[in-house]
Each structure stands twice: as C-alpha cells, then as structure tokens.
Amino acid sequence: NKWVLGGLELSTPYADLIPDILLNIHSRIPEDIIPPEDNDGILLCDLVWTRDVYAIGHLIIDIIEKYIPNVNLNESTLRWAELRATAQEMIQSNPNSRPTISEVLRSSFFTENVVIDVVEKFLRELRALDPQQKRENFIRLYNDLFSIPVQTIAKHVLPFVLVTDIFAEPGADIFLDNFLSAKYSKDKPDSALLPKEIFTQMVVPFIVDSFKLRHYHVRLMLLKLIDKCIHELLEHDKFILDTIIFPEVVLNSIHHYNLN
C-alpha cells in the first residue's frame, strides 16, 4: 500500500490565484477543505503557508477517522488523540490562529513518539551514531518495543533489526538476547514481544539464513544466542542441527583456523 501524491496540475503560485483559478480548484476538491478565507474573498499574502496547514490538518483528521476507527485514541501508544488535537488547531477558520508547520513538528506527537524515536531517530540513523549512542539505544530498545503495536514492529522495526550487520553493532548482543528470549509461551503469553506466528515467519528464517553466512562475528553471536531459539529452530526444521548448524559451524571453524 502506498500513498500517491496527485493533483499537482492544480498547483499555482499564490500571486496567480485569480478568482477563475480559485473557482477551478474549488470545483475539484471537497467543499469542507476549502480554506474559509477563500469563501470570504480574503487572500492574506503574508500568510500563504496557512492554506497548506489547513489542508494538511484536514488530511490528518481524514486519515485518523477513516483508517483508525477502532482504536481508543486516548489509550493508544501512538498518541493519535494528540495528533488529532493538533490537526484541529490546524483547521481553525482564522488563518492567524493556525500553528506553523514548525510548531506542529514540535508537538508532543512528534517529539515524544516512541515509533519516531525507535525507527527514525535510532534504527534508520544507526550507522551515523557513535558506539556509546548505539549501546545506550540498544539497551533501551527492547523495553521501547513493548510500547509499539505488534504490526508496527513487524512492518517498520524488524526490517532494520533482522539484518546480519546488527551482529557487529555495540550493544546489539544485549538487545538480541532479550529479543529472542521474549517469545510466545503458553505459560506466559503476556510476556511475548511478538506472537508466535510472526516470530516463526520472520525471525526464525532470518536466523537460519544467518547460519549459512560464513562470517566469524555472525556465527559467534548466533552461537551465543542459540539457546534462546533452538526450540523454534527445531520446530522449523527438525534436522537443522545436522544439516545446517553443525556443518556450517565446523566449516567456519576450520576456515578460521587456517587463516590463523
């Protein structure tokens, strides 16, 4: 699923917004998202940005109401209620009362959002961080993930976490140890970070494929963590120890010995 930006043929420099062009634009968009100042015949040249703020505010509200109908907005960890409150400020009828985009981005939805902190500020920027920052963020990451919906983790977090480069990152061993330990259990279903089906479909194949890579640091990390996931590996393939893990470990050990 992708959002597609369209309607650019209606983009017009603000100075060229003569009545005929405005009427053409108004005929193509829902009446409720037309800036009130247009209907009042007032064009405020020093507040051009307020028109975009007004439109974006309506877009946010429309997305929340259409695509997040069953979520209790006040209890959601993604802080939808705060974003909707900000959007309500963006669609005020008086242009002078609308917040600037900079003010919107400084709202708590963006500055105190665990998804933005984890995905955008940490995992996406991982290579640019210094070792101490990486270590501190990895130590905090495990607990942060419990505040994020499972489907969001699967779609936006796991693609950054389930990569072999992570094995060489400072602090990743602590995170992976906790991450692989927090599996679904009939005895403790509430302690699981991921449901069994997602763990089986995404995490286990990654571990299996990683064992096939003959990189010393990858193998070393996997062997340290194998007790955390051996049961799931055997469920995935009961012969995996004999067909993949033991042979690959032996071959890698011989190769590493010959290099030294």
Q: How far apart are CA 149 and CA 146, in angstroms?
A: 8
CB 7 within 8 A of CB 28: yes
- Rounded CA-CA distance 79/41 in Å is 37
For 157-170, how does the pLDDT look when each residue is reduced to its tens digit (9 = 90+)? 999 999 999 999 99
pLDDT tens digit sequence for 170-192: 999 999 999 888 765 555 556 67
What are the tokens at 76? 């959601």
The three-state DSSP-derived secondary structure of 35-88 is CHHHHCCCCCHHHCHHHHHHHHHHHHHHHHHHHCCCCCCCCCCCCHHHHHHHHH
* Model confidence, pTM: 0.72
- The CA-atom distances, in angstroms, between 79 and each of 32, 147, 159, 169 are 25, 11, 23, 31
Q: How far is Cα 13 from Cα 16, in angstroms, rounded to an integer?
A: 5
Mean pLDDT of 21-34: 84
pLDDT at 70 over 70: no
Torsion angle, CA of 225/228/230/233, rounded to 10 degrees?
-90
pLDDT at residue 194 tops 90: no
